Amino acid sequence: MKYLLALAGNQNCGKTTLFNCLTGSNQHVGNFPGVTVEKKEGTILKHKDTVLVDLPGIYSLSPYTAEEVVTRDFILKEHPHAIINIVDATNLERNLYLTLQLMELNIPMVIALNMMDEVRSSGNSIKVKELSNHLGIPIIPISASKNEGIADLMDAVMKVLEENKPAIKLDFCKGEVHRAIHSIAHIIEDQAKDAGFPLRFAATKLIEGDKPMIEAMALSESENHILGHIVEEMESALHTDREAALADMRYSYIENLCAECVIKHHESKEQIRSEKIDRLLTHKYFGIPIFICIMMFVFYLTFHVLGAPLQSLLELGIDVTTNALSHLLTITGVSPWLHSLVINGICAGVGSVLSFLPIIVLLFFFLSILEDSGYMARVAFVMDKLLRKIGLSGRSFVPMLIGFGCSVPAIMSTRTLSSERDRKMTIILTPFMSCSAKLPIYGMITMAFFPHHSAIVMISLYLLGIIMAILSGLLFKNTLFRGKPIPFILELPAYRFPSARSVVLHMWEKAKDFLKKAFTIIFVAAIVIWFFQSFDWSLNMVTDSGHSMLAGIGSILAPLFAPIGFSDWRASTALIVGLTAKESVVSTLSVLTGATGNVALSGALHTIFPSALAGFSFLTFTILYMPCVAAFAATRRELGSLKGALLTALYQTTVAYIVALLVFQIGHFII
């Protein structure tokens, strides 16, 4: 690597689109060390020796969110050779606020002035050259979504890299703030140098009262005293406090700059269009029903119209491959256990999880359209009040909703939540939303025990899941996650057509993520379960899985389930196998009872569950206990800790047990 570049900018300014334009598909997704903030990096197209790191979308370099801290640490510690600062030309004032702070970091910089096409089409214009002269930074107008100006941008970046000259014009402060910055810069010159901070940045942050900077600089008592005095003087002269003084200084400078360089005759077309769309989409009465309709439509397309045929097609493909492989193994005459391992273990296990792939890809297709178009921010706006009651914010609503489809993409989609606390809580609560893989189980039990009341049983199960999520939320809010939620101050970006490239790349990324999981953790889990299912305790292969170790474990666990109504080993075994994928509870029960067909299975279930209440208790446990290995793997990945994922699974299973116990015991008492 010859050059390291950092891409920084506000949220919703087209940063990801630009990143995709610059790097194509040469991307690598990871985490910044120590935090679960996503770090994307890639090599620049046509400049293979130049690496670009996509920093999180931020509005400022304050030390308050993980994203801001990560950005600032990255720039200060990794010393990128240059920064590409992407700026939304339709929203220059707020975007330049970050620019002014980035300038203080004393690193060569280029501004990519994005969405210039929108500015022009609205009949407005920006005097790019003047703006560039004022800031002392090259500014290249681009349109990332139309792939315009990208070559010019890279030319400018290369030029800046060769010159290696940081932004020099730091004359945007005046009056009292200017005086304070210079006095302090004078005092801390040596310390800043020793600590490796750009002087101007250190001085500004000290005036702001930035805690990490104060700690890092370790000033002596007398220096602190003088610093305090300078700040006090500035505050009393300006009749305001230190934080407001600096924000005001930056924004005042920007306002003057924009007054000079931006010619704005009209509000931008996109802004006007957005206001019109919002009249409907966030309407007082129609907003929520429309949202429900949109989500139902997405679910209908994902799980029904498009997902189901694709899923059966993929299943067919897996079947054909498995059969061919089985045939091949038979001809080559491998030992039966190896045959069974490959076919019944790996192919069956990984195959059943793999068949989720179409649904996950489709769901993320729709979600990234909703996200990139700007609608998700409206969902957060509309739903915030509801979720605040359980200590979350409107942003968590969408992952939970996806949970009704499948917990895996739901947990994966929590990545968009900006607060780590909200993200963790959402990950833990989401599996309580009954996923679609559990439907066959509900179908099986209701058919056997509640043939005339299936609808009400189903609804009560879904409600039970939601209620448990709410109760858990309340519990966590007041215990584990007592900390203050980060403030809900959210930009509602103008509606825009999502770029096909971003949507496809996003889908591909999630698919890759899922496939990686399918062939690692799920692969291992499938082998482990196969092993227990195919061998008895003396490690002889069994033909009847009723004699397997798994059945043995099921029998050992069976008494545990007696208090919640079913002590038959087949039920507990099915619950264990259900961990591979929830629908396999059904297939396991039919294998273990030897029942073929639904009617026979219904009859056989009466031998496992002594009463309808026991059947219902089984359903209660099923909906709440730990999710399948695929979801567990997603939890582990998004929480960033195996321990966290295990504790989550333990919590979910405990809740399931307690609720089933209450249902069964109280029900028993009543009936």
Partner 1 sequence: MTLDLIKPGYTAILKIIGGEGALRHRLLDMGLTPNTKVTVRKVAPMGDPIELFLRGYVLTLRAEDAANISVEGVEKI
> Interaction with partner 1 in 262-301: which residues (CB under 8 A)?
267-268, 271, 274-275, 278, 282-285, 287-288
Interface segment toward partner 1; rule CB under 8 A; list 147-155, 324-332, 380-388, 456-464: 380-388
**Position 158: which residue type?**
M
Backbone angles phi, psi at 169, to 5 degrees: -85, 100
The residue among 287 and 345 lying less far from partner 1, judged by its C-beta, is 287
The residue among 247 and 542 lying less far from partner 1, judged by its C-beta, is 247
The position carrying tokens 């620019």 is 99
Asked if 251 touches partner 1 (CB under 8 A), the answer is yes
The residue among 320 and 386 lying less far from partner 1, judged by its C-beta, is 386
Integer CA distances (angstroms), 118 to 21, 142, 167, 268, 570, in order = 18, 11, 28, 7, 64
The residue among 60 and 548 lying less far from partner 1, judged by its C-beta, is 60
| CB of 249 closer than 8 Å to CB of 344 | no
Q: How far apart are CA 537 and CA 521, in angstroms?
A: 25
Asked if 492 touches partner 1 (CB under 8 A), the answer is yes
Interface segment toward partner 1; rule CB under 8 A; list 70-78, 125-133, 191-199, 238-246: 238-246
The residue among 385 and 453 lying less far from partner 1, judged by its C-beta, is 385
Q: How far apart are CA 480 and CA 568, in angstroms?
A: 36
Q: How far apart are CA 126 and CA 264, in angstroms?
A: 8
CB of 85 to partner 1, least distance (A): 16
CB of 138 to partner 1, least distance (A): 24
CA atoms within 13 A on the CB side of 256: 10
CB of 265 to partner 1, least distance (A): 13
CA atoms within 13 A on the CB side of 154: 20
CB of 291 to partner 1, least distance (A): 9
CB of 289 to partner 1, least distance (A): 10
Asked if 652 touches partner 1 (CB under 8 A), the answer is no
The residue among 421 and 517 lying less far from partner 1, judged by its C-beta, is 421
Taking CA 502 as the corner, what is the angle to CA 501 and CA 507, rounded to the nearest 5 degrees?
A: 100
Residue 42, strand partner residues: 27, 52
3-class DSSP assignment, residue 51: strand
Interface segment toward partner 1; rule CB under 8 A; list 145-153, 354-362, 378-386, 532-540: 378-386
162, 163, 189, 248: residue in contact with partner 1 (rule CB under 8 A): 248
The residue among 141 and 287 lying less far from partner 1, judged by its C-beta, is 287
| CB of 392 closer than 8 Å to CB of 340 | no
Asked if 386 touches partner 1 (CB under 8 A), the answer is yes
> Interaction with partner 1 in 335-364: which residues (CB under 8 A)?
none
Integer CA distances (angstroms), 417 to 40, 119, 151, 466, 624, in order = 17, 30, 33, 20, 24
Asked if 244 touches partner 1 (CB under 8 A), the answer is yes
Other beta carbons within 10 angstroms of residue 289's beta carbon come to 10
CB of 381 to partner 1, least distance (A): 5
Interface segment toward partner 1; rule CB under 8 A; list 18-26, 57-65, 147-155, 213-221: 57-65
CA atoms within 13 A on the CB side of 201: 28
To which H or E segment does residue 152 belong?
A: helix 150-163
Closest by CA position to 671, among listed 607, 623, 610: 610
The residue among 386 and 599 lying less far from partner 1, judged by its C-beta, is 386
11, 62, 224, 373: residue in contact with partner 1 (rule CB under 8 A): 62
The residue among 61 and 613 lying less far from partner 1, judged by its C-beta, is 61
Q: How far apart are CA 584 and CA 591, in angstroms?
A: 10
CB of 494 to partner 1, least distance (A): 8
Other beta carbons within 10 angstroms of residue 371's beta carbon come to 20
The first and second tokens of residue 282, run together, are 């966030």
Interface segment toward partner 1; rule CB under 8 A; list 55-63, 329-337, 610-618, 622-630: 55-63
Q: How far apart are CA 48 and CA 34, in angstroms?
A: 28
Interface segment toward partner 1; rule CB under 8 A; list 136-144, 245-253, 537-545, 554-562: 245-253
The residue among 55 and 505 lying less far from partner 1, judged by its C-beta, is 55
214, 439, 490, 511: residue in contact with partner 1 (rule CB under 8 A): 490
120, 179, 269, 388: residue in contact with partner 1 (rule CB under 8 A): 388
CB of 342 to partner 1, least distance (A): 54
16, 50, 90, 414: residue in contact with partner 1 (rule CB under 8 A): 90
The residue among 266 and 516 lying less far from partner 1, judged by its C-beta, is 266
> In this structure, is the dihedral angle defined by the CA atoms of residues 641, 72, 132 and 267, taken in order, positive or negative?
positive
Q: How far is CA 421 from the centre of its chain?
A: 13
Asked if 416 touches partner 1 (CB under 8 A), the answer is no
Asked if 29 touches partner 1 (CB under 8 A), the answer is no
Other beta carbons within 10 angstroms of residue 131's beta carbon come to 21
Asked if 384 touches partner 1 (CB under 8 A), the answer is yes
The first and second tokens of residue 274, run together, are 């957005």
CB of 166 to partner 1, least distance (A): 23
Interface segment toward partner 1; rule CB under 8 A; list 447-455, 486-494, 507-515, 595-603: 486-494
381, 449, 450, 621: residue in contact with partner 1 (rule CB under 8 A): 381
Integer CA distances (angstroms), 52 to 26, 82, 502, in order = 10, 10, 17
92, 103, 505, 619: residue in contact with partner 1 (rule CB under 8 A): 92
What is the dihedral angle through the alpha carbons of 307, 413, 113, 177, rounded to the nearest 10 degrees?
A: 170
97, 299, 375, 664: residue in contact with partner 1 (rule CB under 8 A): 97
| CB of 582 closer than 8 Å to CB of 593 | no
Closest by CA position to 25, among listed 359, 369, 509, 460: 509
Number of residues in contact with partner 1, rule: CB under 8 A? 45
26, 132, 191, 240: residue in contact with partner 1 (rule CB under 8 A): 240
Q: How far apart are CA 230 and CA 182, in angstroms?
A: 10
Backbone angles phi, psi at 101, to 5 degrees: -75, -35
Residue 110, strand partner residues: 84
78, 93, 189, 194: residue in contact with partner 1 (rule CB under 8 A): 93
- In the complex, the residues that contact partner 1 under the rule CB under 8 A are 59-60, 62, 64-65, 90-94, 97, 240, 243-244, 247-248, 251, 267-268, 271, 274-275, 278, 282-285, 287-288, 377, 381-382, 384-386, 388, 486-494
